[in-house]
Amino acid sequence: MLTRTYEFLIQEHLKENRQMLFLMGPRQVGKTTTSLEASSIAPSHSYLTWDDQTHRLLISEGQEAVAKHLNLHQAQESLPIVVFDEIHKFLHWKDFLKGFFDVYGKFVKIIVTGSARLDILKFGGDSLMGRYFLYRLHPLTVRELIEPSLSEDEIRLPTKLSNDDFDTLLQFGGFPEPFLQKNKRFYNRWKKLRLKQLFQEDLKDISNVQQISQLQILTELLKKQAGQLVNYSELAKKTHISSETVRRWIETLKALYYCYSIQPWSTNITRSLLKEPKIYLWDWSLVDDVGQRLENFVGSHLLKAVHLWTDRGLGEYGLYFLRDKEQREVDFLVTKDERPWFLVEVKSSSNGGLSKSLYHFQKQLEAPHAFQVVFDLPFVNKDVFSYQDPVIVPAATFLSQLV
């Protein structure tokens, strides 16, 4: 068993906030296990999932039936906790949660989990506004394996992860089961099953896509284009569908946590390239090309960091890339409260020296830090955020300072 950072995050929320906790993330990333581990601190805790027929019937009976099931009408020493799993599959899930929270919210702590993005399932407006806080659960990362506890500071002091765990994370991805198994045959079977569930179960819950085979072709193409600009017209040609359909399908895949995109940063960039986003996969282990996988690996660590920092209320963080019409490019830019904070260029090797684009964009943006993250240097016990000028840093060091 792994202790997840999100267990501490959930417990922090339950202690400090009255709002429902919405926990989103990819299928099999550990939402149910994590929420149950975190809620077990309460003497009375319950789990209700829409995927169980008995639980489904209970929820369908209404808020009072669930309250009776949870004994909310009885005096209890401490507030019980209830986890509603995959409830977004219920047609009237928002009305149910709104009514349940408004009537019984003072008597119970509520966790809602889902493998689809609950923040986009807002048909007809968001009637739950003010009643919940959103948290996004990511796959395992370097720092979480080293020390899963929370910190009031965004950046940690560097700590070494074993080479074996680092290599396993890069090879098998950050989903708990394949990481813990460290077995190629298990990984292949797990990967096949997860993608089957994505196309045969999850897709139909939030979309009416009928051309499943063409959508599967699109996912294969996106695997090969990780870290590249999205060319909708080229993808349309290869899948024999319209560009607009490609756009819509990519949004659906993003909602199901198959992929994510980052936008170009244009503020204060002379002759910036205002074009399409770049695409990455939530499961970097699916990316075959070594260079693209390394970039996806770092990008996913950065996305997790900006999501967790933002979700905890430490500030407003964003992840972008930089590119101008002179073809100068930096893979990632992290912003804090809409101001450039640090730049990251990913390289497999330290050979070739520092990227000139790092110097160019750091000067133009006046960002405090600029890093060239490489994978052929061993861990060094040095706080890389103590540097103000562009610097080459080992991936093992840089990633250990995030979350």
pLDDT tens profile 102-150: 999 999 999 999 877 666 554 445 678 899 999 999 999 999 999 999 9
Contact 265, 317 (CB under 8 A): no
Structure tokens at 74: 């009885």
The pairing of beta strand 329-336 with beta strand 339-347 = antiparallel
Residue with tokens 């943006």: 365
pLDDT of residue 124: 44
Nearest-angstrom CA–CA distance, 102 and 116? 24
Q: What is the pLDDT of residues 228-273, one digit of tens each?
A: 999 999 999 999 999 999 999 999 999 889 999 999 998 877 666 6
Per the confidence metrics, is the pTM higher than 0.75? yes
**Helices 5-16 & 31-39 angle (0-180, nearest 10):** 50
Q: What is the pLDDT of residues 329-356, one digit of tens each?
A: 999 999 999 999 999 999 999 998 999 9
Q: What is the pLDDT of residues 216-231, one digit of tens each?
A: 899 999 999 999 999 9
Nearest-angstrom CA–CA distance, 99 and 148? 35
Nearest-angstrom CA–CA distance, 140 and 255? 20
Q: How confident is the model at residue 20 (pLDDT cuts 50, 70, 90)?
A: very high
Nearest-angstrom CA–CA distance, 85 and 83? 6
Contact 399, 147 (CB under 8 A): no
Domains of the chain, residue spans: 5-136, 142-400
Structure tokens at 243: 């560009």
What stretches of 5-161 show up as alpha helix (H) in DSSP? 5-16, 31-39, 53-61, 63-69, 93-104, 142-146
The Cβ of residue 37 has, within 10 Å, a number of other Cβ atoms equal to: 18
Per-chain mean pLDDT for the chain: 93
E strand or H helix at 188, and its extent?
helix 184-197
Residue with tokens 């560009």: 243
E strand or H helix at 113, and its extent?
strand 109-114
Structure tokens at 294: 């390394």
Q: Counting Cβ atoms within 10 Å, is residue 35 exposed (0-12), middle (13-18) or buried (19+)?
A: buried
Q: Is 294 helix (H, G, I), strand (E, B) or coil?
A: helix
User: What residues have CB less than 8 Å from 129, skipping those under 6 apart?
Assistant: none
Residue with tokens 């993005």: 117
Q: What is the pLDDT of residues 153-166, one digit of tens each?
A: 999 999 999 999 99
Classify domain 5-136 by CATH architecture.
3-Layer(aba) Sandwich (3.40)
Nearest-angstrom CA–CA distance, 196 and 113? 21
**Rg, the chain, Cα only:** 22
